[in-house]
Amino acid sequence: MKIISGPTSKDLAQAISTQTGLSNVPVISKVFPDGESYVRLDASVQGEDVAIVQTTCPPGQDGKLFQLAFLADSAKRAGAKKVIAIVPYLAYARQDKMFLSGEGISVETVARMLKAAGIDEFLTVNIHSEHTLGQFPFPAKTLSAIPLIAEYFVKKGYRGSFVLSPDKGAMYIAKQAQAILGGDVGYLNKTRDRYSGQTVQTGEGLNVKDQNVIVLDDIISTGGTIVGAAKILREQGAKHVFCGCVHGLLIGDAEKRILDAGVEEIVGTDSVPGNVSKVSLAPLFSQSLKGAI
């Protein structure tokens, strides 16, 4: 097997190559003056199974998805046997059902497109809803980066922290972290208006007074969820507030708004390379690939 370094995840791909001992296939990429993407594999994949590492986070997620599809096609045309897509952040994963009539299911369209391009298997991390993967036209698996994020906080000396889930749906995340951090766990109630997108958060009966609290979510996008959680935690007397996520999209001034809300540190992964990507997913993907080799 060989690792193909997608243009959006070169460092992660290199780390996976190093940790697995699998050789790395560099990719030449450019964007034409009209905005279209070009990719070319810069080593042979003839007769090989390959894993393309390419995250599809904003900004420019549509172009990143096309790069992934073009790489799969290039690999197949160059004689690759099996093409595995390692996509830490899968764009459109949140449109995983028809919330309103007249909508489509964007994530399923994306998966069908990737299948048509030549992808045979799919690996991601903390996809928004695991049930999505059952609708994909190829074997698909999601791993969890939460233990790695919890270990990060343990190393910083925050064992025993209260782990707060910003909504009931993310409690599985909080519980995975609690297993490592060893403190209490709780969740906020969050409701969303499907037309305006506005959310309302409430938190009753949380025992966070004088506690260190880590708010954990799968995605931080605009930061509104974390800012709302931080406000509730402050009102309830939490001592220190931190937040962690797998996919730190941090759109616009989200990072500043979160820090201004009193959160002392934001921890994300290299699913979305940037300021807060302090935890690498390389060990997780490497371990999974080793099981497949």
Binding residues for ligand R5P, rule CB under 6 A, total 11
Per CB under 6 A, does 4 bind ligand R5P? no
User: Interface with ligand R5P by CB under 6 A: which range of 68-76, 115-123, 221-229, 263-271?
Assistant: 221-229
Backbone angles phi, psi at 152, to 5 degrees: -55, -45
**Under the criterion CB under 6 A, does residue 124 sit at the interface with ligand R5P?**
no
Q: Is 190 marked active-site?
A: yes
Residue 91 is a binding residue for ligand R5P (CB under 6 A): no
Under the binding rule (CB under 6 A), the answer on residue 225 touching ligand R5P is yes
Q: For ligand R5P, which is the closer residue by CB, 223 or 244? A: 223
Pick the binder of ligand R5P from 6, 186, 203, 224 (CB under 6 A). Answer: 224
Residue 100: is it exposed, middle or buried by C-beta count within 10 angstroms (0-12/13-18/19+)? exposed
Span of 27-35, 148-156, 202-210, 220-228 interacting with ligand R5P by CB under 6 A:
220-228
Q: Residue 132, interface with ligand R5P (CB under 6 A)?
A: no
Q: Please identify which residue in 124, 165, 221, 288 interacts with ligand R5P, judged by CB under 6 A.
A: 221
Q: Does 186 bind ligand R5P (CB under 6 A)?
A: no
Q: Are strands 83-86 and 199-202 parallel, antiparallel or unpaired?
A: unpaired
| DSSP state string for the chain | -EEEE-TT-HHHHHHHHHHHTPEEE-EEEEE-TTS-EEEEE-S--TT--EEEE---PSSSHHHHHHHHHHHHHHHHHTT-S-EEEE-SS-TTTT--S-SSTT---HHHHHHHHHHHHT--EEEEES-S-GGGGGGSSS-EEEE--HHHHHHHHHHTT-TT-EEEESSGGGHHHHHHHHHHH-S-EEE-EEEE-TTT--EEEE--S---TT-EEEEEEEEESSSHHHHHHHHHHHHTT-SEEEEEEEEE---TTHHHHHHHTTEEEEEEETTS-STTEEE-SHHHHHHHHHHH-
Euclidean distance between CA atoms 169 and 189, whole angstroms: 10
- Residue 42 CB, shortest distance to ligand R5P, in Å, is 36
Site string for ligand R5P, 134-173 (x = CB under 6 A): --------------------------------x---x---
| 218 near ligand R5P, rule: CB under 6 A | yes
* 272 is a site residue for ligand R5P (CB under 6 A): no
Q: How far is the CB of 222 from ligand R5P (least distance, A)?
A: 3
| Nearest distance from C-beta of residue 69 to ligand R5P, angstroms | 25
Q: Which stretch binds ligand R5P (CB under 6 A): 40-48, 103-111, 149-157, 218-226?
A: 218-226
Q: Considering the complex, what minimum distance in angstroms separates the CB of residue 167 from ligand R5P?
A: 6
Q: Which residue has the tokens 């962690």?
A: 244
Shortest distance, CB of residue 54 to ligand R5P, whole angstroms? 21
Q: Does 217 bind ligand R5P (CB under 6 A)?
A: yes
Shortest Å distance, C-beta 25 to ligand R5P: 33
Give every CB contact of residue 21 below 8 A, 6+ residues apart in sequence: none
Neighbours of 170 (CB within 10 A): 24
> Which residue out of 190, 209, 256, 278 is catalytically annotated?
190
Interface residues with ligand R5P (CB under 6 A)?
A: 166, 170, 217-225
Catalytic residues: 190
